[in-house]
Amino acid sequence: MTSHDDRSPILVWFRQDLRLDDHPALAHAAETGRPVVPLYVLDEESEGLRAWGGAHRWWLHHALDALGTALKEHHLPLVLRRGPALREVVDVAKAAGAGALWYNRRYGPGERAVDEAVAEALGDLDCQGFTGTILHEPEAVQTGSGGFYRVFTPFFRKLQSLGDPRDPIDPPKHLKTNDTSVRSDRLADWNLLPKKPNWSGGIDEAWQAGEDAAHQRFAAFQEEILAGYKDSRNLPAEDGTSRMSPHLHWGSVSPYRLWHDAQARGKGAEGAGAYRRELAWRDFNYHLLFHVADFTRANYDKRFDRFPWRKSPKDLEAWQQGRTGYPLVDAGMRQLWQTGWMHNRVRMVAASFLTKHLLIDWRAGEAWFWDTLVDGDAANNVSQWQWVAGCGADAQPFFRIFNPIGQSRKFDKGGDYIRRFVPELAALPDKAIHAPWEAGEDVLDEAGVALGKTYPKPIVDHEEARKRALDAFAMIRG
């Protein structure tokens, strides 16, 4: 494409940064005083990109609707296009007479390949990528030998030595509209929302997408939860987490904004420190995604390529449906299906149960989470699954096998979380609700529980499953 003068429009390509606040590409474009053309491309065709899951698509619809509304206040229409990004971005750039394409960087290998191909196709247009979705660029955090960190603790020490991340950038006050209109799809025509029967009712009740909702939720978190976050984040029955994961995944809020707001509100407090550590853990996962080409598909620890995973569609389905007979696991899987989200402590227990109690490949669980989580994230989802399965870069030892009964008794002591999502067990006393099969028949009868009828018997014995898992690991150790 031909070069343009410094008065030509800047095409701002939105991706997983669906906000106006602390959006470096948009903010710097606004500072130039040049017209701005905001664009979102739904690319389900380019090689190396993964199609969004069902829960993703629900969130994306509402987040784009909110972004379009926010841009309308600046008299800017959000241009929507569906198709390969290489084709659609180049077409919009030509139609708008753009002289520049600015965006916030992406870190997956497929996304980076698409961005490089688009920049090459645009020739001498000014294509710039900014840092807006993680706290530190992967190239900026290196070991003493110039490599990347494979273990979180030294990675976190390195981040701390770099000082605080940059300050967030306030949303632009003025955005100049382009004189040339550009064809745009209608969001409704993308059919991102489920058809009848509508399975998203629980997600509708649990979540509100968009930038305003993200800031409102985080303000409430700071006011009511942050001080005790270090402990409350482990209790699934409580509203003790920030619930920012989908907002971070879709970029309706900036990690810089969260980092500095948490620091300002809780400086020196344990809760604020624990929360910033979680943001750093997110960065660590993205750095792994950047540096390890097959991270989302392959075992980081290649010993696990020989691991004797079981293929059991019946067991996988029982796990997916929350019918394993282990109440905490089942509560988590049902929370996931109903709300598009699962408490992080329970995610670890459920993932451990699939990979170690059932010996089912972590990739089967990751695929289910990808389709059902509103925050299903290429970096975080895969990293957590590999961590739990024992095959990741900074994995827990394989022999650490979460006991779902012990975890339940420790973190859902009164059984409130189980009662909410496994209501057929609600009448059981606290002592019995974590392992109903250990209760006497009189206790079960009084609670209206008939094992194998109203609630499943355990599909596997914990101690037998633990031994089977350790024996399987012994086959690949060394």
Any domain includes 469 = yes
Quote the pLDDT of residue 3: 44
Same domain, 339 and 441: yes
Same domain, 394 and 281: no
Residues labelled as active-site residues:
278, 281, 309, 344, 362, 385
Any domain includes 309 = yes
Same domain, 341 and 444: yes
Give me the number of domains the chain comprises: 3
pLDDT tens digit sequence for 212-252: 999 999 999 999 999 999 999 999 999 999 999 999 999 99
Q: Which two tokens stand for residue 168?
A: 């967030």
Any domain includes 204 = no
Same domain, 114 and 225: no
Same domain, 392 and 306: yes
Alpha-carbon gap, residue 478 to 476, rounded angstroms = 6
Quote the pLDDT of residue 315: 98
Same domain, 402 and 446: yes
Residue 406 has pLDDT above 80, yes or no: yes
Quote the pLDDT of residue 1: 42
Closest CA to 290 of 149, 93, 175: 149
Same domain, 33 and 51: yes
Same domain, 281 and 393: no
Between 74-83, 228-237, 322-331, 388-397, the lowest mean confidence (pLDDT) is in 388-397
pLDDT tens digit sequence for 17-63: 999 999 999 999 999 999 999 999 999 999 999 999 999 999 999 99
Closest CA to 15 of 90, 111, 125: 111
**Which of 88, 110, 132 marks a domain boundary?**
132
CATH code: domain of residue 359: 1.10.579.10
Quote the pLDDT of residue 2: 39
Task: Give percent of the chain above pLDDT 90.
Answer: 93
Quote the pLDDT of residue 91: 98
pLDDT tens digit sequence for 326-363: 999 999 999 999 999 999 999 999 999 999 999 999 99
Residue 393 has pLDDT above 80, yes or no: yes
Same domain, 327 and 464: yes
Residue 266 has pLDDT above 70, yes or no: no
Residue 380 has pLDDT above 50, yes or no: yes
Long-range contacts of 465-471 (CB under 8 A, 24+ apart): 465/356, 465/357, 465/358, 466/356, 466/357, 466/401, 468/359, 469/356, 469/357, 469/359, 469/398, 469/401, 470/399, 470/401
Alpha-carbon gap, residue 240 to 233, rounded angstroms = 5
pLDDT band at 394; cut points 50, 70, 90: confident
**Which of 106, 132, 158 marks a domain boundary?**
132
pLDDT band at 477; cut points 50, 70, 90: confident
**Which of 116, 132, 148 marks a domain boundary?**
132
Same domain, 146 and 106: no
Instruction: List the domain range (segments joined by +) for residue 39.
Output: 10-132
Any domain includes 192 = no
pLDDT band at 478; cut points 50, 70, 90: low
Residue 268 has pLDDT above 80, yes or no: no
Tokens 């390529």 belong to 305
Question: Are 389 and 359 in contact, with CB atoms under 8 Å apart?
Answer: no
Same domain, 347 and 276: no
Same domain, 457 and 341: yes
